[in-house]
Chain A
């Protein structure tokens, strides 16, 4: 174990996973260059990036399927070691099951490989099969199941040994919306129960509702990470959507506003006496405009537009690419 500062030690203890300057190359191809991440305990951490960015390479290193060329990883305050395999659960993007094996047998086998005893695994499997309403699948062969059904089994097998850290790589691909929802609820429940979760995806819409923290990986490099709300705050540009009800002279009022504020777009609905507009303020101080509005009208909508994760992603990647 290398010498480290006491402060570093505290950081390591406080996070489920700390990666420091992790680099991985395959021949001439660089999959990860100098990635450093800190993944807090008991949260859902989104690992985002386009296909081929290096997400899966990073995850495989955490799972000790491959090894980094340089850099260090710490799990729960300890340098990552083979014994940690039992405290990690991993649902890979490329996933499947033995086609000709029975569901129950297969689940038992995979659970035992993760270190559960047979008896323990049986009890937990019964519980999970019951939970997801698949109790009668035990003796079925995988080839008799649909893709979505097989994915449920894979999910169960991933979480069965109650790992401290769960890693989902594109967990919702292959699920229909109903089952995707079931799995999403299960992921949230696992988080409530204290599990830390890494959630890797290139589909940003699923990030918004699940992740508290994100890291953006692009072309083998980390280009952004932190708390999602902080990032959003940093990326917001003080644009507000405003709607007011005004009885008369809406045009004149709009003109007077345009003199003082930077109105980006506007529309007037004379029948409803409604004025809607989009405004960009110099800062997030809203007092001045609110005062101006409330003098003559009723405000029925005043909403800051927060950039979506997708917007941030595209914006960051573009600025990164253009910057080079």
Chain B
């Protein structure tokens, strides 16, 4: 018996990995993905690299050294020109714009009568930067009137962040929950993708056996359940093979791409991975090293062993549940176009899990919605994995939730697989029928 299962697994695996479109996808996908990443990074870089030149015609005595070139804007001083001349030459030289600061008695007055001339409506980031310069100068001026020196002002201006600590006295840092959720989320996301892609493989492979009419020949030699199980395992091994090839070759390609194009990938991650401080400003370079150390410590502190073991458990059980449903669907229909009405209800809990995960678990990993969905067996493989980087026990997922979640998953697994096997067994011998849900329900009662 066991050797028959082995034979089936081997055949299913070989049939899949020798399939031409499977090979093409295996090779092409990492190239496409890396290509896309490189393209996005490249475009972002071009975008960032564009420096706009703003000419300044300063007729006042203020703001002489206030405009310092930044990453995106450089400044060019015009002298002894009329406004019209300055406009013409800025336009002729194809500079971005002209900032005209007219003569005036006070800083306030000058600021109020200053004008920015541009060809079209100016970019928000440009106006913001210029406005900041005026704003700073004005603030300084106003404070000076109140008797604050520029030195005092700059010492007051130092940014402030509140110190964070856990009750145990360990220093905690912001953004960690998000990082943890992203790590858990990517595990969950991998499970979802795997289920959708390779569950579909299982389904198509069942349909193929039905349409080619080999099914009855096979099940006169092996039990339908053996065939179904062998099919699921064989296809998922092919899936694991493909996934591994993707990960290895995509990382290798990415590495090569970084070396060749010199693309700074941190430019991409800056916006997403470190949300609060990246926005805050550039002024905290000094504290960065210590922070990185803390982040590293936190990431190191994520219970990787637990995470990987539970990823494995949730992955295997979740995949088996869903792919056996896929197999049952494949058995029930005659061709792939008939599968749509049955596929949607399967995808639904998966999508729900991902969305609930990203919207609810990120902000509150232990809130009631997160708990509910991490216990419900059709969503738990994804949602629980998003919660688990926080560990089990104090500050993380309560142990009872973890146990209940896995027990529910196992019970569901046994239930669904036996139901799916019944539908499969009846369905594979039904030709030329487009079954209804009612009929599927009837099949469950056949001996």
Point out residues on A near B: beta carbons under 8 Å. 26-27, 60, 63, 65-67, 69, 82, 85, 88, 90, 92, 94-101, 109-110, 112-114, 154, 157
Contacts and interface: CB of A to CB of B under 8 A. Distances in A.
B185 to A, nearest CB: 38
A96 B221 contact: no
B442 interface: yes
Contact of A100 (B15, B218, B221): B15
B222 interface: yes
B219 A95 contact: no
23 contacts: A27-B445, A65-B220, A65-B429, A67-B447, A85-B220, A85-B221, A88-B220, A92-B213, A94-B216, A94-B431, A96-B212, A96-B214, A98-B15, A98-B209, A100-B15, A109-B7, A110-B217, A113-B4, A113-B7, A113-B8, A113-B218, A113-B221, A154-B217
Contacts of A113: 4, 7-8, 218, 221-222
A63 B220 contact: yes
B366 interface: no
A97 B8 CA distance: 15
B216 A99 contact: no
Contacts of B447: 66-67, 69
B11 A109 contact: yes
B220 A99 contact: no
A65 B217 contact: no
A67 B422 CA distance: 13
Interface of B: 4, 7-8, 11, 15, 19, 208-209, 212-214, 216-224, 425, 429, 431, 442, 445-447
Nearest to A154: B217
B52 to A, nearest CB: 59
Given A26-B446, A27-B445, A97 B220 contact: no
A94 B209 CA distance: 12
Contacts of B221: 85, 110, 113-114
A162 B212 CA distance: 25
A99 B19 CA distance: 12
Contacts of A26: 446
Contact of B212 (A66, A90, A98, A114): A98
A92 B446 contact: no
B293 to A, nearest CB: 56
Contacts of A97: 212, 214, 217
Contact of B217 (A60, A66, A95): A95
Contact of A90 (B220, B429, B446): B220
A110 B224 CA distance: 15
Given A27-B445, A65-B429, A92 B217 contact: yes
A96 B213 CA distance: 4
Contact of A157 (B213, B217, B445): B217
A97 B11 CA distance: 13
A27 B442 contact: yes
Contacts of A65: 216, 219-220, 224, 429
A14 to B, nearest CB: 25
Nearest to A93: B216
B230 to A, nearest CB: 10
B219 A112 contact: no
B441 to A, nearest CB: 10
Nearest to B8: A113
Nearest to A111: B221
Contacts of B19: 100
Nearest to A28: B442
Given A100-B15, A112-B7, A94 B213 contact: yes
Nearest to B3: A112
Contact of A60 (B4, B214, B429): B429
Nearest to B19: A100
A82 B224 CA distance: 13
Contacts of A82: 223
A101 B223 CA distance: 22
Contacts of A109: 7, 11
A104 to B, nearest CB: 13
A27 B212 CA distance: 27
A129 to B, nearest CB: 18
A65 B427 CA distance: 12
Contacts of B445: 27
A122 to B, nearest CB: 15
Nearest to B11: A109
B9 to A, nearest CB: 12
